[in-house]
Structure 1
């Protein structure tokens, strides 16, 4: 967690939305078939890498991710672990971008389309799916106010 995220905003509940209910996140290595553990309707809303095709099957997208990032992807991760690794990374980054831009009162900068798209998915999720109390707390923490 970054120095900007001093309040320790936990993005795990957001990440868990991409998986079916009841998944044991401490034992993702046991879930060999990613198709049975992800919420498919959300997969088309995010990018896993630049030039990702969200209309493809998740297995194909992850296979391409492994090719694109073969130098950084741990070889012993199964698809379910890799997917969690990817979305956790992008949405942790989205949280830091959000908090940094508001802490310093600056517009966010995005170095890639993937980061930009996933940042917007993250913000839309906060606005549309948060309970009013959670949203108010998050906005207060970010020095924003509700209209």
Structure 2
């Protein structure tokens, strides 16, 4: 899978950033500069990422999400880039159409690939914040 990600990063299906940045520069440096993460936190992130790839990814890859993961009891949001070649927009839309949730929304990022949070960080933060604040104001439905 890492070979696939490297090829996507090289040709733009993963990130649409003008600067072809490595995972380190696109994810780790911003985390370090945020002041919210320590070096031990970053080591934990790296270990967790490696764990997911080795222990959990085979199960995730074998899961037929459109058949088994469509009903949610919580709000469901997808933030995706229309230029994503890892999870193409048409597949995302098809899956989203199957989702049943109390609230659902598919938010497209026109200038993004697989990682809108790094391709369009300000817009991503703003849209995520807006949705979370709106959810906070809603009355609970039990």
| TM superposition score normalised by structure 1 | 0.28
| TM superposition score normalised by structure 2 | 0.28
| More strand by percentage | 2
